[in-house]
Amino acid sequence: MTASGDRISKELLGSIGNPPAKLRTNGDLRNYSATHILRNGTAILIRAVRPDDKMLFRTAFRNLDRDSVYMRFMGYKKDLTKTELEQATNVDFDRSVALVATVGSGEAETIVAGSRYVADAGPGPHRTRR
């Protein structure tokens, strides 16, 4: 059980709140996936974002309420642009990593959360070394 009370079975190590026994990556972070059981019993899959996730991202965006869109994009918009979908789904997994949490599978798979981090490239013209 995690600190937040979520249940984790031994075969699911590597999900939220537990150090991974062995990451399921097959040697490449693009293949990362881990299953997590929420306190309410819902199973979610936490996995790497893939280039073919564009429709899942578009559907997730369309399910956001107006205030969520405003807070996330600093303005109102009706849909994601082609460029935004490309940026969201084409991840290099070298300097940036993007994960989604999904429920369901196959045609019923739905994105319920997402995260991304980008590594700092180091000192640039706008930074000073100390």
pLDDT above 50 (res 51): yes
Q: How many domains does the chain have?
A: 2
Structural domain span for residue 23: 1-48+92-117
Core vs surface per residue 80-102: b (16+ CB within 10 A) or e: beeebbeebbebeeeeebbbbbb
23 and 82 assigned to the same domain: no
* Closest-CA residue to 12 (of 30, 31, 37): 37
Do 32 and 70 reside in the same domain of the chain?
no
Q: Are residues 36 and 11 in the same domain?
A: yes
1 pLDDT above the threshold of 60? no
pLDDT at 10: 42
Domain co-membership, 27 together with 39:
yes
- Do both 105 and 42 map to the same domain? yes
Which residue in 75, 82, 91 sits closest to 58, CA to CA? 82
Q: State if pTM tops 0.75.
A: no
Q: What residues form DSSP beta bridges with 99?
A: 48, 115
Identify the residue with better confidence: 68 or 9.
68
**What helix, strand, coil percent values describe the chain, rounded to 5?**
30, 20, 50
Whether residue 83 is found in the same domain as residue 102: no
Query: In this structure, are 44 and 85 located in the same domain?
Result: no
